[in-house]
Structure 1
Amino acid sequence: MTAMAHEPTPTQEELLLESFLALETPEGFKAELIEGEIIVSPAPDGDHEDVIELIVAQMYDHSKVRMQYSGNKGLRLPSGGRCPRNHVVPDGTFAPRELRLFRGAPSWMTPDGIALVIEVTSTGPDGDRVAKRHCYARAGIPLYLLVDRSRGMVTLHSDRVGEDYGDAHSTAFGKEVPLPAPFSFVLETADFT
C-alpha cells in the first residue's frame, strides 16, 4: 500500500487573503484587507471628494515635479504579521509622472516609486490615523498626508522609521502645510472646512 500525498492545509491567513480577493463588493463600495481585517466602506460623501479634488488641483498646479495621480489604485503592502499582505486603496496616490507607475499595473500593485498617499477621514477615522499609517510606513511610502475632518486637522507624516513615521507635522484647517521634495510647495487648506 502506498501513502497518498496530501496537499498542505491552508493557513488561516491564506484563507483570509483568498476570501478577500474573491469578495464581490456592491457597486460604489470598496474593500480593503488591513492587518487581518476585511473592511468594506461605502462611497464617500461630497465633502470628502471635494477635499481630494482641492489637493489634486494644487498638486498639478504647484508641484515642482509633474505628478501622476490615482484615486482608486489598490496597493499590496507588507503586513505587520497578522496576514500575508495588506490590500489598501488610498484616497489618493501620487507618483512622479515620468515613472508611469499606473500604466499596465495590476489591480493590486506594489508601492515602489509612490511619493505620497492621502487619506481623508470618513466612516473609519481610527483606521486612517493608525493602521493605514503603519501600513504605508512599513511599505516604504515616503509621505502620508492625513486630512482628519472630524478633528479639523491636516497631518503630514514623513521620515519613516520601521513601522511608523518619525515626524508628524499637524496643523488646523486654514493653515499651510509645507510639502517637501519632490513636491516642494505649500499646500493651502483654507477650503478644507
Structure 2
Amino acid sequence: MTAMAHEPLTQEEVLLEWFLALDTPEGFRAELVEGEIVVTPPPDGDHEKYISRIVRQVIKRSKTEMDFSGNKGLRLKRAEAWPTDHVIPDATFAAVEADLFGGAHSWMPCDGVTMVLEVTSTKPKADREVKRRCYARAGIPFHLLVDRDTAEVTLLGDPRQDDYSQRCTVPFGKPLPLPEPFGFDLDTSDFL
C-alpha cells in the first residue's frame, strides 16, 4: 500500500494552527487579527469599570432582552484573506432569544451577535481601526468603542465591507443614543 502524499501546509494554515495552540500567560489574551497575532496584558481597573457600566445599562435598559459575554472568542469571516480572524471583544451582546452563548465553543461564529464593545487598552490603534474593520467585514450590526485617550464614546453601525457607514461620537459625560434593539441613551456621566 502506498502512503498518500499530503499537501504542505500554507503559511496561513501554519499560523492558524500555531495560534490555536498558543498558551498565553494567565490573564493575557491572544487574538489573530488580519494575519497578525496580538497579545494583550490583563486590563486595568478603569478599563473594567467602563465595561461594567455599559453592560449594566444594556442589560437593564434595552428594549430587547440582551445576553452578554465578556471576553468571548469570535471567528470572523474575512472577505479575501485566510485565515479567519479570531477576535475577543471586551463584551459581546446578542438578543436572549438567539441563545448564542449556551454550548458555544471557545471560538464561536459571530452570526447573531448584535453588538461588540471595545475599550481602548495598550494597543488603541487595534481597537480603533483594525478590529473595527474586522467587525464590519463580519457584518456585526453595531460596534461600540470607548476611547480612553480621546475621552469619547463612539457607536458605529451599518457595516459595509471593511467599515461602518454610520458613526455617532460623544464626549464622556454626554448621552449616546443606542438605536433599536437597544432603544435608550447610554449614560456616560460616570466615565469622567
> TM-score surpassing 0.5?
yes
2:143 match: 144
Give the whole-Å Cα distance in 2 for the aligned partners of 1:111 and 1:5: 36
Q: Which position in structure 2 is the counterpart of 1:125? A: 124
CA distance in 1, matches of 2:11, 2:158: 34
Per-residue deviation, 1:171: 1.1
1:149 maps to amino acid: R
Describe how 1:1-150 pairs up with structure 2 within 5 A.
5-79=4-78, 81-150=80-149
2:22 maps to amino acid: L
The structural deviation recorded for 1:81 is 4.0
Between the aligned partners of 1:69 and 1:6, the Cα distance in structure 2 is 46
Report runs of 4+ in structure 1 exceeding 6 Å deviation: none
Q: Look up the equivalent residue of 1:124 and give its one-letter code.
A: K
Moved more, 40-49 or 77-86: 77-86
Of all paired residues, the percent bearing the same amino acid is 56
Native 8 Å contact 1:77 1:135 kept in 2: yes
Query: What TM-score, normalized to structure 2?
Result: 0.96
Separation in structure 2 between the aligned mates of residue 72 and residue 62 of structure 1, nearest angstrom: 22
Question: 3-state DSSP class of the match of 1:51?
Answer: helix
Residue ranges of structure 2 left out of the alignment (5+ in a row): none
Distance 2:142 2:110 in 1: 12
Find the residue that maps to 1:186 and give its secondary structure. Answer: strand
* Helix, strand or coil at the partner of 2:42: coil
Q: Which amino acid aligns with 2:181?
A: P
If the length of structure 1 is used for normalisation, what is the TM-score? 0.96
> Which amino acid in 1 is paired with 2:117?
I
Match of 1:184 in 2: 183
State the alpha-carbon separation in 2 of the partners of residues 192 and 62 from structure 1: 18
